[in-house]
Structure 1
Amino acid sequence: MRVETLLRNTAAANPGRIAVTAEETRLSYGVLDDKSDRLASALLARGVRRGDRVVVFMENIWEMTVAVFAVLKAGAVLCPVNPSLKADGLRFVLGDCRPSAILTQAKYARLCEEAGRDVPVSLITVVARGAVAIPGVLAFDDCVAEEPDGLPEAGTGDDLAMIIYTSGSTGNAKGVMMTHANIVAASGSIAAYLENSADDVILGILPLSFTYGLYQLLVAVRVGARLVLQKNFAFPHAVLAAARAEGITGLPLVPTMAAMILSMKDVEPLPTLRYITNAAAALPTAHVAGLTELFPQACLYLMYGLTECARATFLPPEEVDQRPDSVGKAIPGTEVLVVDETGRSLPAGTVGELVVRGPHVMQGYWENPASTGAVLRPGPKPGERWLHTGDLFRTDAAGFLYFVGRKDDIVKVGGEKIALSQVEAALHACRGVVAAVVVGVPDPVLGMALRAVAVVSDPTLTERDVLRHCAGILPESMVPKSVEFRAELPLTASGKVSRRLVTEAGEKE
């Protein structure tokens, strides 16, 4: 099956059902299907061909949902890019995937023009939400107003559907290649364990240009649910008010959003809320407790995923009370293992790298065989191919998984290896700490020492208070040497706290 078939099937069965709500716009499945047909036809008429890459550089607006399916219906390869990317980052992506078209908004048109000047192809640019004085730029509204003129015959599920870029936090971003079959498998598995149905109303607050956000759209379309788009979480009271008015049943979030919600006063209930999900980064156990207390009727799904496979694990809600620091087991239809450096499966309690196998795992990195070979490796049985995540995990006796940290986030303090994520978990359990990150800093005696950087809601909280708290629950070697308080922590475009930016800011001081 191909991804656009999910939309065609739902639109044929329930054309009048609302698919997307964004500000004052409400698109039915029939309209979403029709508009994406028209845009696909317009792209084809202007030279986009099967297999061409098409960049979609938009915020969470209804036009982006149309663009996603239009690209796929044209037989092209979807390349979603977060519009917070600056000129250099966008220039890298355009030069790497060499798209034949870019779909964007008027306010980003000049940025796209600047970034695309050195791209060795002629870019077709389609702009939504306003006109721009750039020759040759097409208006989104004009394209979707044209009568569709025959779309290409559908290919197969093995065709490349998407190139979605990693964050590039450890170097240049890499283009993760996903086939239609990969995406259909991932969306089906997610919908199964979340028990999604046409009755669901899902809050689309996470960027559609990132895997976690995009799959809210793909899963909603698959089951005929409604997606309520919001551009960001800068004004949480307004977002939650909109969520309440729309009767949302699904609330996908990341830890920074959870921290903001839990720091708010007088949060009104969301009476229709059925479930909450967390991915991107581990949710501190203090936040787990806070969310379950704030929304007692909602099931909490603690998940682990990465761009290279969308999702890998989930913890069933009935296990949350007993294992609030676990991310569960493999999602349906997939396998995971914790292995040593030779690929040998490790026993419970032993820390090793998580590897993933299943129909949702990427095909590789776009035009990057060296990086592909480093993470997609043969397994012990003939024909097996496992994704090596670069993340350290352990299992308990029942087989539930626990995130320990990135391989890159292990710091040696006085000769002892420390997982920074474990120290951060202790910090988040401290009363008054809203968000925290731990970094390694040079130390003349220990080689490296730990520095905590925290955002607090209690202005009376002191460094001594935080260190005393940590000393009460952590081994001496894991207690930070110092604590720095800041008004906020730098985030990546996907909403994660950026340890790299925290470290760089400290080095400049």
Structure 2
Amino acid sequence: MSAAPEGPGTAPTSLHAAFRRAAADHPDRVAVRDGHRELTYAELDAVSGSLAAHLRRTARGPYVGLALRPGLHLVAAVLAVLRAGKAYVPVDPDSPPERMRRILEQFLALPLLAEDEVLPGLPALPGVRPVRISEAMAAADGLPPLPSAEPPFAPAGLPFAPAEPHPESPAYVIFTSGSTGVPKGVVVSHHNVLRLFRSCARHLDFRPDDVWCLFHSPAFDFSVWELFGPLLHGGRLEIVPPGTKRTPADFARFLGDRAVTVLNQTPSAFRQLCTVLTPEQTHRLALRRVVLGGERLDPGALRPWYALAGDAVELINMYGITETTVHVTCARLSPRDAEAGGPGTIGRPLPDLEVRVVDEQLRPVPDGTPGELLVSGAGLALGYLGDPAMTAARFREDVEPGRRWYRSGDEVLRTADGDLVYLGRLDRQTKLNGYRIELGEVETALRGLPGVLDCHVLLDTAPPAQRLVAHLVLEEAVPVETVRDSLARTLPAYMVPTVYVPVPELPLTLNGKVDEKALLARSARG
């Protein structure tokens, strides 16, 4: 990490300590900007330190919930919770009330910092104590900043005090969708996140003059990368307004106006951005790197980007899972990857991680053979909150003595030269009329057809019979029949969808992934 010298006893062992090191090195740089409001590193350090002092006095228990939208308050609150020696639990205020209830009811006692307009929509639960963030900030105003375990950073490189928090202390709990309908809380440590950036520094350079933007919900782990990428290295974090995030054309202007240099996107969101970018806007961009992650990448879908920008901007595909701390592998992309099409490479694992490709009995398979991806190493989370049985089932200790391996549920294959190719979620494989179908393979074939700008294929299981449904974003003059006939010449008959639904754009969830429930509602049978 650029702001934290390596060496015995010198590297920060907590996220807030690493931030404070960056704040000492770059006190007058703008740390975060939200519209016309901004905080320098020194100001953010002071504000978060005072709020940490208030939370230390008033917030009981090891966790503090954050029902906050992206903004100055969110950034200060994340740092304050960590500095107070607790872990933050992001709850997206825009998520359905039932999901919020299912998350919050998993805590016996949880202070919950919330915005005023969010409070009426929060479920009333015995263990949850909502606190207005405005009142918490006012109560903290004037308090001396909490002197967290480490001493103030004067000369960079001084050893940390022995009381520095244990690296394996929880830093956050992010909830993912559970197969039972109950969200699973993934507990991630300070060490998990700190080693992520140290490990990625071998592939990516983190610069103090970089400008990142917070595009994703704090309840999606891509936001951890977006928050700490700049704040641990002296960069600037720009907050994307909610309306701008939902409108690709406005977001394109935002990127140019704010001179964003590092952009992080799901492939679905990036495809929508590419459809609205003009050559003039592209030339105005200050981007030097785009990191793609969060879902399967179809390299052929990047052709519009390369047609606009060439290879002047570095495109990186990073595969990862919440349970393995944001990123696992890294692959640099090129126009050749887009032209080749086919399944997307996810490259090789980060230096402190190891991967295996295994069969259903968790036995390694030969190169070139599809199998489930297992991950081991320093990125593995502590486990699932309050669920030791699920933790034992997914974080396996029976694969190799003395090591934990995480079962990803993703299908990959390893090529002869050692690169991994992502084939899709095992739970996106389906059977129809006795045939095994990988829905991502159908989507790749569709995106390779003239006039298909984007697509998403689903299995509709509603009576009277199961059917494949293709949702298509098309150029204006392309009839659906042409797409269907072209696809029939490319794929076997059992993989060709029977229903084609034109849509103006693919709806996205709060995490920037395709909203399959919304698509199924559009194609529901009358």
TM-score (norm 2): 0.87
2:68 to 52, 58, 61: 58
The residue number in structure 1 matching 2:159 is none
- What is the deviation of 1:266? 2.3
Q: What 5-or-longer segments of structure 1 have no aligned partner?
A: 129-137
**One-letter code aligned to 1:312:** V
CA contact under 8 A between 1:188 and 1:219: conserved in structure 2? no
Over the residues paired in the alignment, what is the CA RMSD in angstroms?
Answer: 2.4
The residue number in structure 1 matching 2:155 is none
The residue number in structure 1 matching 2:40 is 28
Following the alignment from structure 1 to structure 2, what is the Cα–Cα distance between the partners of residues 467 and 213? Answer: 38
CA contact under 8 A between 1:258 and 1:291: conserved in structure 2? no
Aligned-partner SS, 2:317: strand
Following the alignment from structure 1 to structure 2, what is the Cα–Cα distance between the partners of residues 492 and 236? Answer: 14
CA contact under 8 A between 1:423 and 1:479: conserved in structure 2? yes
**One-letter code aligned to 2:327:** R
CA contact under 8 A between 2:266 and 2:293: conserved in structure 1? yes
The residue number in structure 1 matching 2:411 is 392
Aligned-partner SS, 2:257: helix
Following the alignment from structure 1 to structure 2, what is the Cα–Cα distance between the partners of residues 503 and 53? Answer: 37
**One-letter code aligned to 2:442:** V
Aligned-partner SS, 1:344: coil
**One-letter code aligned to 1:242:** F
Within a 5 Å distance, the mapping from 1:27-106 to structure 2 comes to 27-46=39-58, 48-49=59-60, 52-106=62-116
CA contact under 8 A between 1:364 and 1:372: conserved in structure 2? yes
- What is the deviation of 1:419? 0.6
Q: What 5-or-longer segments of structure 2 have no aligned partner?
A: 1-12, 150-162
CA contact under 8 A between 1:292 and 1:300: conserved in structure 2? no
Following the alignment from structure 1 to structure 2, what is the Cα–Cα distance between the partners of residues 443 and 483? Answer: 16
Aligned-partner SS, 1:308: helix
* Partner deviation per Cα, 1:144-168 (whole Å, 9 max, x = no partner): 4433355566421121221111134
Aligned-partner SS, 1:156: coil
CA contact under 8 A between 2:300 and 2:447: conserved in structure 1? yes
Query: 1:148 aligned to 2:145?
Result: yes
The residue number in structure 2 matching 1:361 is 380
Following the alignment from structure 1 to structure 2, what is the Cα–Cα distance between the partners of residues 86 and 482? Answer: 29
1:468 to 485, 503, 509: 485
The residue number in structure 2 matching 1:132 is none
- What is the deviation of 1:264? 1.3
Within a 5 Å distance, the mapping from 1:126-205 to structure 2 comes to 126-128=132-134, 138-148=135-145, 150-151=147-148, 154-168=164-178, 171-205=181-215
CA contact under 8 A between 1:75 and 1:154: conserved in structure 2? no
Following the alignment from structure 2 to structure 1, what is the Cα–Cα distance between the partners of residues 385 and 211? Answer: 34
CA contact under 8 A between 2:303 and 2:335: conserved in structure 1? no
Query: 1:414 aligned to 2:433?
Result: yes
CA contact under 8 A between 2:501 and 2:523: conserved in structure 1? no
1:334 to 342, 350, 353: 353
The residue number in structure 2 matching 1:494 is 511
**Would the alpha carbon gap of residues 319 and 266 (structure 1) be closer, same or farther in structure 2, given more than 3 Å must change?**
closer
**Would the alpha carbon gap of residues 366 and 443 (structure 1) be closer, same or farther in structure 2, given more than 3 Å must change?**
closer
**Would the alpha carbon gap of residues 472 and 80 (structure 1) be closer, same or farther in structure 2, given more than 3 Å must change?**
same
- What is the deviation of 1:430? 2.7
**Would the alpha carbon gap of residues 319 and 343 (structure 1) be closer, same or farther in structure 2, given more than 3 Å must change?**
farther
- What is the deviation of 1:462? 2.0
**One-letter code aligned to 1:415:** G
**Would the alpha carbon gap of residues 41 and 338 (structure 1) be closer, same or farther in structure 2, given more than 3 Å must change?**
same
Following the alignment from structure 1 to structure 2, what is the Cα–Cα distance between the partners of residues 425 and 159? Answer: 42
Within a 5 Å distance, the mapping from 1:302-381 to structure 2 comes to 302-309=317-324, 310-317=326-333, 321=337, 325-378=344-397, 380-381=399-400
- What is the deviation of 1:247? 1.9
**One-letter code aligned to 1:199:** D
Query: 1:481 aligned to 2:503?
Result: no
Query: 1:288 aligned to 2:273?
Result: no
- What is the deviation of 1:378? 2.2
Aligned-partner SS, 1:54: strand
Query: 1:459 aligned to 2:476?
Result: yes
Aligned-partner SS, 1:391: strand
**Would the alpha carbon gap of residues 403 and 143 (structure 1) be closer, same or farther in structure 2, given more than 3 Å must change?**
same
- What is the deviation of 1:237? 2.8
Query: 1:237 aligned to 2:255?
Result: no
CA contact under 8 A between 1:410 and 1:419: conserved in structure 2? yes
- What is the deviation of 1:282? 1.7
**Would the alpha carbon gap of residues 145 and 425 (structure 1) be closer, same or farther in structure 2, given more than 3 Å must change?**
farther
- What is the deviation of 1:76? 1.0
**Would the alpha carbon gap of residues 335 and 341 (structure 1) be closer, same or farther in structure 2, given more than 3 Å must change?**
same
- What is the deviation of 1:308? 1.0
The residue number in structure 1 matching 2:216 is 206
- What is the deviation of 1:187? 2.9
Following the alignment from structure 1 to structure 2, what is the Cα–Cα distance between the partners of residues 242 and 362? Answer: 34
CA contact under 8 A between 1:412 and 1:448: conserved in structure 2? no
**One-letter code aligned to 1:258:** F
Following the alignment from structure 1 to structure 2, what is the Cα–Cα distance between the partners of residues 406 and 385? Answer: 21
Aligned-partner SS, 1:321: helix
- The 10-residue stretch of structure 1 (361-370 or 226-235) with the greater mean CA deviation from structure 2: 226-235
1:15 to 19, 27, 34: 27
CA contact under 8 A between 1:411 and 1:448: conserved in structure 2? no
Aligned-partner SS, 2:345: coil
Equivalent residues, number: 492
**Would the alpha carbon gap of residues 192 and 220 (structure 1) be closer, same or farther in structure 2, given more than 3 Å must change?**
farther
Aligned-partner SS, 1:435: strand
CA contact under 8 A between 1:453 and 1:484: conserved in structure 2? yes
**What is the identity percentage for the equivalent residue pairs of Structure 1 and Structure 2?**
28
Following the alignment from structure 1 to structure 2, what is the Cα–Cα distance between the partners of residues 61 and 411? Answer: 41
- What is the deviation of 1:414? 3.1
**One-letter code aligned to 2:140:** C
1:226 to 224, 236, 258: 236
**Would the alpha carbon gap of residues 301 and 170 (structure 1) be closer, same or farther in structure 2, given more than 3 Å must change?**
farther
CA contact under 8 A between 1:207 and 1:214: conserved in structure 2? no
- What is the deviation of 1:504? 5.3
Following the alignment from structure 1 to structure 2, what is the Cα–Cα distance between the partners of residues 125 and 68? Answer: 15
The residue number in structure 1 matching 2:126 is 119
* Partner deviation per Cα, 1:460-498 (whole Å, 9 max, x = no partner): 322211112322332333222221223344432201113
Following the alignment from structure 1 to structure 2, what is the Cα–Cα distance between the partners of residues 170 and 250? Answer: 37
The residue number in structure 1 matching 2:442 is 423
**One-letter code aligned to 1:120:** G
CA contact under 8 A between 2:63 and 2:110: conserved in structure 1? yes
CA contact under 8 A between 2:216 and 2:510: conserved in structure 1? no
CA contact under 8 A between 1:41 and 1:151: conserved in structure 2? no
- What is the deviation of 1:320? 6.0
- The 10-residue stretch of structure 1 (6-15 or 217-226) with the greater mean CA deviation from structure 2: 217-226
* Partner deviation per Cα, 1:16-66 (whole Å, 9 max, x = no partner): 1121121112211111111110111111222x24x5211111111111111
Query: 1:434 aligned to 2:453?
Result: yes
**Would the alpha carbon gap of residues 444 and 3 (structure 1) be closer, same or farther in structure 2, given more than 3 Å must change?**
closer
